[in-house]
Structure formats: C-alpha cells, structure tokens
C-alpha cells in the first residue's frame, strides 16, 4: 500500500441517479434480498474502507455486529470529504456520497487508481436499503456526524459533534464510521451470520498485505469470538493457510509481482504458489481488485498458459522430459498446486453468469509475461523445489495416461465380449432402468446370499471384493485400473468421467450399496461414494444412489432369530421383552444372514429402508476419503480413532 497524494474533493463526485430505483429493484444492485444480498451490504461498506486502504490511506478496519442488530464499519482513512458539494452547495460532499448513486468517487476518474466492490455500487445503495444509517467522520480536526432513516431520508444533516482524538503521532485522527440497520421490509431476514462475514474479512486481509481487520460480534448470545486478521505476507500467507491441512511439497511459498502503467491506466499482478502432495487440480484461486473471480478470466488464462509453458520449457532444458516425450499438460502441472493470482486494475470488466469473470484482455498478456519471466527465474533459483514439482507433474501425466488406457480397456471390453457385462454380475432380466436395481454387495459370501435372496427379475447383484481399498494410497485415477471398479463401470453402463458419463444410458435406476456395518464396510462405502461423486456425479445428483440398511443387531426369542434394525428398534424390543437375556448382539456382517433373512431384513422392497444419497453426503464422503487416503497422516489417525466406534454412520 503506497500513499498516492491526489487532490480530491467534492468536485469529483458525480450525480447519476436517485435512491428510489434501488429500493424498487434491490436485486439489481446487491444481487438478491436473501442472505447473500444482506451480507453484500456489509461487503459494500467494507470495500469502501478497503479501497481507502489500497490507496494507502488506511491501515485498520473494524467491523462490529451491534447488539441492536446494526452493523458498524470503521476505518482510519482520510474520512469522507465534509466540504460543500460542488453540485449542490447546500449539501456536504459526504451527504452526496451517501445519497447519490455511484457517487463514491470511484467513477468519473480522478478518484482511486483501483477499486473493488463487485458492483461498485457504493455506500448510497446501503443507505437506500437500510432503515437507519449513521455516519461519523473524523476530518480536519473535527468529528462530524449525520444520519438517515427509511432508505436514505436525511434525518440529521452533517454537523460537528466534537474534536477528533489525537493519534500517536500528535495529529488529529481521520477516518470514517458507518453504522447501518438493514431494512426489514426489504430483506427476507436481517440477522447477519458471523462466519459468513469472517470468511470474507479474512480473504480481504490476505489480499491486502498488512491491512488489519478486526471483527467483534456484540449481539446477545453471540458465540463467535473477537478476531483480528492481519497478514504481513499477504497472498503468500493465503497460500500457506490453504495448504495448512495438507502436506506441502516444499516449505517455500513462491511469489511474483509485476506492475505496469499504460495510458494512465495501471495494472498489477501478484502470484503466490506452492504445491502439496494431493491430487486435486483445482487449487488455483484468482482475484481482481479483491473480488474472487470464480469464473476465471483473462488473468487466469494468462497464468495457466505461462505456467504450462514455463514448466515444460524447464523440463526440456533440464532433460526431465525426453525429446520424443509429449509435453506435460496444464492439469498435470496444476495437480496439487495451490496458487493465488491477484490482480488490480483501473477499470475491471466483470463478465459471465455471476459477473465473476475478468474480461480485460490486456491483463492476460501482463500475467502471462510476468509469470513466464519470473516463474522461470524462480525455478532456476530453487532447483530442489523445481525437481519435486517436475516429479509430481510427470507422475500425474503417467497416471492420466494410465487412466485413459484403463478407460479404453473398459470400453473395448464392453464392445467385444457380447453385452460386455462383467462375469461376476448376476444381472436381472428386466432391461427397464425404471425398475431395475443394482445391488453392490461387499464380499463373495454375502454376494451369494444376495443372489439367492433376490427377485431376479428386477434385482442385479454385483459382489465386490472386500479389500479393494487396501491398495496403497489410492490416486483416484488409479481406481479406474481396478478390476472391481471396471466391473462396476460396465455394469452401470453409463460410462465414466466428467466428459463421458451419460446418466440416460444407465441400466439401473437404483444403484444400491450394501456393505457390512464395520470398518471395512464403511471404507468401501466411502470409496464407492467418492467414486460416484467424482466420476459419475449425475448418478448422485439425479438420486440414483442408495445405501441399503442391514439390521445392526440380532438376538433370539425362543427358537426364532430376531433382527433389530437400529438402536431404536433395540430399545423397542427391550421394552417389549423386559426379561430378555442381555445378549443383544451386533451383527458381524451380512454373511451371518441366510438368503431368507437377508431378503426379509434388507432387500424386500416392501420392508426395506434405503437411504438415498444426496450430493452433499457424497461430497462429505469425498472429503472423508481424502482424509483416509490423503497424505496428512495426523488427520487420518485422528479421524479413524474418533470414528472407529460407530462406523456405520461414519460417512453418511
Ligand atoms: C470520497 C473521496 C475520498 C474518500 C472517500 C470518499 C472515502 C469513503 C469511504 C467510505 C468508507 N471509508 C471511506 N473513506 C474515504 C477522498 C478524500 C480526500 O481526498 O481526502
């Protein structure tokens, strides 16, 4: 943050529109009147303070959720100008800023060099959508105050209420405090969620190195503790933070920065990066003027292109790629990469579905040039890190190749051997996916019982080997080479992978996972859900995946075996047979039941209960899978230890 002395007063403020329009169509200005829009109000105010910080004039921003439902944002910037407005000498500039749309000084030039605020709508929009707004400004030695009610109606004209306190260096304090109470007639709900705000505030602190942001929740019953975010390392600390739960490939966080000025417009790019040992390729996060550009855009394109080029060039120059070997692909290089690309520019153009894609073309070449040049330098200066990055990317390329071969093998096999169905599959006679069901059964013996028990017209059985997870740390792609998984793919029949999977081709409308209620069963269930989540997501999204619920307990009444579904059933049973001998036994596995019992307790459509798997549940399984299979040995241990007791509910 470098100070940028500009003469800037009331004259730079342009009048564009009144506040009425905002109240009529709030969604146009803040996106929605739901929770997202409500929180946007806070961001809008905070963004103004951050702008002040980015221009080098503020170091501290404090956010308080007030006990009476309001939100207070204060900063130690220059203070909103208090002199008479040039447009209307009867009004202070501050009043204009609060009541005229787009009067923040960000528009019409001469104001900030760069500015944030996704919609850049400014404080006036917040005023329009609040039942009350109070502003206090320390400027020119005096503390000024003004207030508005009912969506921007002036209730207290700007007036001096005292002298500003003196700061450590002896000069009077400057700064702005805005307090607002969202209008309950506009918003569906007006209570703020602390964690939502914290996420954003922390992000702002990461993106603005050295900026101190504090947060206090003063509402009665608040559980969130006061926090202070301040990162001297900026986006380098951001990368460290993201990688904290992962095992990084090396301890250094790479960093590069380049700025450029052209035709009075300034552009700046900053990149921080570090690889971890994980297998995801989605660790690239980009920002433009502090806004998370989740749809990417020119800055991301430039970075990806330069990253791929530079790493390939390095690999060739250092003979890590042989002459006849193919180049590494971008996704190979990005596997395990955590990178933050943050750019600032005078007039950002936001495009795309959610206006979260940066459209400024010159940004692509700036980021590309900066990355090409400085990443190459970084690789040369960090040979041991570079070597690890290359090893990882080469491994990823080999895995990608292996997965492709495996997919092709599966496809060829399906094309060649008749219907292409796996030998282990006991298919059903119905070919109508609306009634056909596939039971994926853990273990051959349970598979046998299930085959005997089933209704062969509508129920297909695919036994799956118990220990498929005991491959070394499973790279997901490697699963594709697993014969059990290949059998599963051919049985389901819709193909595999993001591009190929077609839900309309699936052979069964219900895919039912039937596993033991023990650790192995739970592992297999997690693995299968992860697999479906990552490789056949529409199957989950469209509600085709289910979990069978074999009973948890068995006991005997006289000569009859009784199965009890869960703890509630056990309690009900005990209530009915109070004198029953205390031998309520946990079932060890599906294999303990014979075909009739399996049918009656778990498979009979008129009696069974199936759990339908939602995308959220599958996503959780995916996360659990990452912990179980990932490299963070500590989390894995803790997780297994703390969940070993009730494994049945471990992952869903
Ligand atoms: C217009 C012009 C100037 C500063 C601001 C607005 C300003 C707005 C907000 C909103 C929250 N905090 C803020 N801090 C400053 C420039 C003033 C100058 O030239 O001294």
- Single out the residue of 190, 201, 78, 212 nearest to residue 138, CA to CA: 78
The pLDDT assigned to 587 comes to 76
Kindly state whether residues 251 and 340 are assigned to the same domain.
yes
Give 649's pLDDT tier (boundaries 50, 70, 90). very low
The pLDDT assigned to 172 comes to 98
The pLDDT assigned to 1 comes to 44
Share of the chain above pLDDT 70, in %: 85
Task: Give the position, in ligand 1's atom list, of the atom nearest the Cα of 139.
Answer: 20
Kindly state whether residues 260 and 361 are assigned to the same domain.
yes
Question: pLDDT digit string (tens) for 161-194?
Answer: 999 999 999 999 999 999 999 999 999 999 999 9
Tally of domains in the chain? 2
Domain membership flag for residue 125:
yes
Find the farthest-apart pair of alpha carbons in the chain and give their distance in angstroms, rounded.
97
Residue 521: is its pLDDT beyond 70? yes
Question: pLDDT digit string (tens) for 8-46?
Answer: 434 333 333 478 889 999 988 898 999 999 999 999 999
Euclidean distance between CA atoms 425 and 447, whole angstroms: 10
Residue 470: is its pLDDT beyond 60? no
Residue 119: is its pLDDT beyond 50? no
Kindly state whether residues 52 and 117 are assigned to the same domain.
yes
Higher per-residue confidence, 308 vs 499: 308
- Single out the residue of 225, 131, 117 nearest to residue 183, CA to CA: 131
Kindly state whether residues 48 and 133 are assigned to the same domain.
yes
Kindly state whether residues 106 and 246 are assigned to the same domain.
no
Pocket residue to mutate for ligand 1, from 80, 123, 124, 133, most atoms within 8 A of Cβ = 80
Kindly state whether residues 31 and 142 are assigned to the same domain.
yes
Euclidean distance between CA atoms 534 and 477, whole angstroms: 10
Euclidean distance between CA atoms 11 and 634, whole angstroms: 60
Where is average pLDDT lowest: 47-51, 63-67, 340-344, 554-558?
554-558
Domain membership flag for residue 13:
no
How far is ligand 1, taken at its centre, from the CA of residue 186, in Å? 27
Domain that residue 40 falls in: 20-229
Question: pLDDT digit string (tens) for 248-257?
Answer: 999 999 999 9
Pocket of ligand 1 (CB under 6 A): 8, 48-49, 52, 75, 77-78, 80-81, 97, 105, 123, 176
Residue 48: is its pLDDT beyond 70? yes
Pocket residue to mutate for ligand 1, from 55, 57, 82, 105, most atoms within 8 A of Cβ = 105
Domain membership flag for residue 292:
yes
Kindly state whether residues 166 and 291 are assigned to the same domain.
no
How far is ligand 1, taken at its centre, from the CA of residue 7, in Å? 12
The pLDDT assigned to 418 comes to 46
Domain membership flag for residue 638:
no
Tell me what the pLDDT averaged over the chain comes to: 86
The pLDDT assigned to 133 comes to 98
Per DSSP bridges, beta strands 71-75 and 227-229 are: unpaired
Residue 108: is its pLDDT beyond 80? no
The last residue of a domain, from among 208, 229, 250 = 229
SS3 509: coil
Domain membership flag for residue 211:
yes
- Which residues participate in catalysis according to the annotation? 442, 516, 518, 520
The pLDDT assigned to 301 comes to 98
Kindly state whether residues 216 and 242 are assigned to the same domain.
no
How far is ligand 1, taken at its centre, from the CA of residue 52, in Å? 7
Give me the CATH number covering residue 324.
Answer: 3.30.230.10
Question: pLDDT digit string (tens) for 230-275?
Answer: 999 999 999 999 999 889 999 999 999 999 998 888 999 999 999 9
Domain membership flag for residue 268:
yes
Kindly state whether residues 198 and 255 are assigned to the same domain.
no
Where is average pLDDT lowest: 90-99, 118-127, 304-313, 430-439?
118-127
SS3 313: helix
Contacts of 645 (CB under 8 A, 6+ apart): none
Kindly state whether residues 259 and 120 are assigned to the same domain.
no
Kindly state whether residues 220 and 242 are assigned to the same domain.
no
Contacts of 615 (CB under 8 A, 6+ apart): 533, 537, 540, 541
Pocket residue to mutate for ligand 1, from 109, 176, 179, 204, most atoms within 8 A of Cβ = 176
Domain membership flag for residue 386:
yes
Judge whether 144 and 82 are in contact, CB under 8 Å: yes
The last residue of a domain, from among 365, 400, 435 = 400
DSSP 436: -
How far is ligand 1, taken at its centre, from the CA of residue 506, in Å? 60
pTM score, whole prediction: 0.69
Residue 94: is its pLDDT beyond 70? yes
Kindly state whether residues 378 and 287 are assigned to the same domain.
yes
Question: pLDDT digit string (tens) for 399-451?
Answer: 888 777 777 776 666 554 445 688 889 999 999 999 999 999 988 888 999 99
Residue nearest to atom 8 of ligand 1 (CA): 80
Give me the CATH number covering residue 38.
Answer: 3.30.565.10
For 584, other C-beta atoms within 10 Å of its C-beta total 16
The last residue of a domain, from among 363, 383, 400 = 400
Rounded to whole angstroms, what are the CA distances from 179 to 18, 62, 70, 244?
Answer: 21, 12, 7, 36
């Amino acid at each position: 943050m470098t100070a940028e002395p500009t003469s800037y007063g009331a004259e730079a403020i342009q009048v564009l529109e009144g506040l009425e329009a905002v109240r009529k169509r709030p969604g146009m200005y803040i996106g929605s009147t739901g929770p997202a829009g409500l929180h946007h109000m806070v961001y809008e105010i905070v963004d103004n303070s951050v702008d002040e910080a980015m221009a080098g004039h503020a170091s501290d921003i404090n956010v308080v959720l007030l006990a009476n439902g309001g939100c207070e944002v204060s900063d130690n910037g220059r203070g909103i100008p208090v002199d008479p407005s040039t447009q209307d000498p009867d009004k202070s500039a501050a009043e204009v800023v609060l009541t005229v749309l787009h009067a923040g000084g960000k528009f019409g030039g001469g104001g900030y060099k760069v500015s944030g605020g996704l919609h850049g709508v400014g404080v006036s929009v917040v005023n329009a959508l609040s039942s009350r707004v109070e502003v206090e400004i320390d400027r020119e030695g005096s503390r000024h105050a003004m207030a508005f009610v009912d969506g921007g109606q002036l209730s207290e004209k700007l007036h001096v209420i005292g002298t500003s306190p003196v700061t450590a260096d002896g000069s009077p304090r400057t700064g702005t405090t805005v307090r607002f109470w969202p209008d309950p007639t506009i918003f569906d709900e007006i209570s703020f969620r602390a964690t939502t705000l914290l996420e954003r505030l922390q992000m702002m602190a990461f993106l603005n190195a050295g900026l101190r942001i504090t947060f206090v929740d003063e509402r009665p019953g608040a559980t969130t503790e006061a926090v202070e975010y301040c990162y001297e390392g900026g986006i380098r600390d951001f990368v460290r933070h993201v990688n904290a739960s992962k095992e990084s490939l090396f301890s250094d966080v790479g960093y590069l920065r380049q700025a450029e000025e052209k035709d009075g417009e300034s552009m700046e790019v900053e990149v921080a990066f570090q690889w971890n040992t994980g297998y995801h390729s989605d660790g690239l996060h980009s920002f433009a003027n502090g806004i998370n550009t989740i749809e990417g855009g020119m800055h991301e394109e430039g970075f990806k292109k330069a990253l791929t080029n530079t790493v390939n060039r390095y690999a060739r120059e250092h003979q890590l790629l042989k002459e006849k070997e193919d180049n590494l692909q971008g996704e190979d290089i990005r596997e395990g990469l955590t990178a933050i690309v943050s750019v600032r520019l005078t007039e950002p153009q936001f495009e795309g579905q959610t206006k979260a894609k940066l459209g400024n073309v010159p940004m692509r070449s700036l980021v590309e040039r900066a990355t090409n040049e400085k990443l190459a330098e970084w690789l040369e200066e960090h040979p041991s890190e570079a070597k690890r990055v290359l090893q990882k990317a080469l491994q990823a390329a080999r895995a990608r190749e292996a997965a492709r071969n495996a997919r092709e093998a599966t496809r060829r096999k399906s094309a060649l051997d008749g219907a292409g169905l796996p030998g282990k599959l006991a298919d059903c006679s119905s070919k109508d996916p609306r009634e056909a069901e596939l039971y994926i059964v853990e273990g051959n013996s349970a598979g046998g019982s299930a085959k005997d028990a089933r209704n062969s017209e509508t129920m297909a059985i695919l036994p799956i080997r118990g220990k498929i997870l005991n491959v070394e740390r499973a790279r997901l792609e490697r699963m594709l080479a697993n014969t059990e998984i290949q059998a599963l793919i051919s049985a389901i029949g819709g193909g595999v992978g993001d591009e190929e999977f077609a839900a309309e081709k699936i052979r069964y409308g219900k895919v039912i996972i039937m596993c033991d209620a023990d650790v192995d069963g739970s592992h297999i269930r997690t693995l299968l859900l992860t697999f479906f989540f990552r490789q056949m997501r529409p199957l989950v999204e469209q509600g085709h995946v289910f979990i069978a619920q074999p009973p948890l307990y068995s006991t005997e009444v006289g000569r009859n075996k009784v199965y009890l579904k869960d703890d509630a059933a056990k309690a009900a049973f005990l209530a009915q047979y109070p004198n029953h001998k205390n031998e309520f036994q946990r079932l060890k596995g599906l294999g303990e039941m014979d075909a009739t019992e399996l049918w009656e307790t778990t498979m009979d459509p008129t009696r069974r209960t199936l759990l339908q798997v939602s995308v959220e549940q599958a996503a959780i399984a995916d996360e659990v899978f990452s912990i179980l299979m990932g490299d963070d040995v500590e989390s894995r241990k803790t997780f297994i230890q703390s969940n070993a007791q009730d494994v049945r509910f471990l992952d869903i």
